[in-house]
Copies of this chain bind each other. A is one copy, B any other.
């Protein structure tokens, strides 16, 4: 068993031994959802004050309003009753460090660069000339305030998103732990 797997299972045994949340209902008690980045430095339960049972948390690379995030948000509203949503990107995001072109090049090359290790890939993706990475839109970010605004606008204008739901746009600052509003996004996320 790997060190990480062993540590996770030990931590889980500890958590389960003091577990007192058996009776929480399925729908989020505080009726809201947060869409945010997968970044390891972010703990939405801590930075937004969530206890188990409070809110849906959707996370992906960048905290982007991908089709899959919208699938999750629509289920969150329609079946599980959330009535307010947050889009929260963050400073120093990995998604600012590359572009679709760079990612395609990385995946099509066997060169090792900075934090990149190209060993161990399927045959298709190793060696110069592979184009597999081209078929994914990596949803990179140039500017956080812009990406938050874009994503709030995309969510609000989606055909399956109800008109009566407010969407708030924020940036989490990894240096201070603070949430900073993106006023244009919150404005775009208003009801009506």
As a 0/1 sequence over residues 56 to 80 of chain A, the CB contacts with chain B under 8 angstroms (1 = contact) are 1111110000111101101110111
A162 interface hit (Cβ, 8 Å):
yes
Q: Nearest Cβ in chain B — how far from A27, in angstroms?
A: 6
Count residues on chain A whose CB falls below 8 Å from chain B CBs. 100
Closest B residue to A40 using CB positions:
B28
Q: How far is the CA of A168 from the CA of B9 in the complex (A)?
A: 12
12 A-B pairs with CB atoms under 8 Å apart are A12-B49, A19-B178, A26-B94, A38-B57, A41-B53, A46-B52, A58-B61, A75-B94, A79-B103, A79-B106, A80-B115, A132-B160
A residues in contact (CB < 8 Å) with B? 2, 4-5, 7-16, 19, 21-22, 24, 26-33, 38-43, 45-50, 52-61, 66-69, 71-72, 74-76, 78-81, 84, 86, 92, 94-95, 97-98, 103, 106-107, 115-117, 119-122, 124-125, 132-133, 136-139, 159-166, 168, 174-179
